[in-house]
Amino acid sequence: MKMLNIALPKGRLGEKAYGIFEKIGCGCPEIREDSRKLIFENGETGVRYFWAKPSDVAIYVERGAADIGIVGKDILLEYEPDVYELLDLGMGRCRMAVAGPKGRRPDPDRTLRVATKFSRIAREYYESQGREIDIIHLNGSIEIAPLLDLSDVIVDIVETGSTLRENDLEVYGEIVPISARLIANKAGYKFKSGRIEQITAALRAELEK
Ligand code: PRP
């Protein structure tokens, strides 16, 4: 049997998503062992899992190194990889939001300085509002930017809201809800459509339980 390569995002979401694969009979027991190993194979069920950095999962899938993968909708919106989006797993729920210092609103007549990891999402959002902005692309700890007056607002992921709260920031507006998605390589989907469709259907049924 030809192996089905599955890219999982390293971390809590990936582990939770893997749990669903396990439930539908696509497990690979070795993956649960505590180790630094990154690739796991189960010859019996014909699946090979690997842990990738969450923002890299779509790259592996787009280029065919993985047949399918689990990725946040935020990554799909930001990088627009050429992949099929097969299923909303309904986990890893959060929202993309505009936030800034509590009780303050930016001057609408001035160019808005926006700090973010999600430049495309921010640009498209403000374009749709006809608002002129200056994007400041950062790689993490975005919440610091408005506190040090590097930006007026941030566009970032809000999950529990505690990072904002603990830094005296608040949500000014929501852009889009986010959750984890099952994606597939386009060519791989043609060659392995039977298996991929079967897995997608089993995951969907498991999630509906
Ligand atoms: C993400 C996001 C926020 C935080 C939101 O950061 O960028 O900072 O989680 O979660 P909360 O609403 O539950 O507090 P991440 O941990 O990915 O780190 P980062 O600073 O590298 O973006």
Please tell me the residue having the least CA distance from ligand 1 atom 3: 157
134 lines ligand 1 (CB under 6 A): no
Indicate if 37 and 88 belong to the same structural domain.
yes
The preferred substitution site among 93, 162, 163 for testing ligand 1, maximizing ligand atoms within 8 Å of CB, is: 163
CATH number where 49 lies: 3.40.190.10
Q: What is d(CA 30, CA 180) in angstroms, rounded to the nearest whole number? A: 24
101 lines ligand 1 (CB under 6 A): no
Give the CA distances from residue 91 to residues 107, 167, 178, 198, in Å, rounded to whole numbers and listed in that order. Answer: 37, 26, 9, 20
Indicate if 75 and 108 belong to the same structural domain.
no
Provide the residue range defining the domain that includes 141. Answer: 94-176
Indicate if 134 and 204 belong to the same structural domain.
no
Dump pLDDT digits (tens) for 168-204.
Answer: 999 999 999 999 999 999 999 999 999 999 999 999 9
Indicate if 85 and 186 belong to the same structural domain.
yes
Indicate if 139 and 129 belong to the same structural domain.
yes
Indicate if 84 and 98 belong to the same structural domain.
no
Coil, strand or helix: which one is 39?
Answer: strand
Indicate if 27 and 39 belong to the same structural domain.
yes
Give the total number of structural domains in the chain: 2
Using only C-alpha atoms, the chain has a radius of gyration, in whole angstroms, of 19
Indicate if 18 and 53 belong to the same structural domain.
yes
Dump pLDDT digits (tens) for 6-27.
Answer: 999 999 999 999 999 999 999 9
Separate counts of helices (H) and strands (E) for the chain = 8, 11
157 lines ligand 1 (CB under 6 A): yes
Indicate if 86 and 184 belong to the same structural domain.
yes
Which pTM does this prediction carry?
A: 0.94
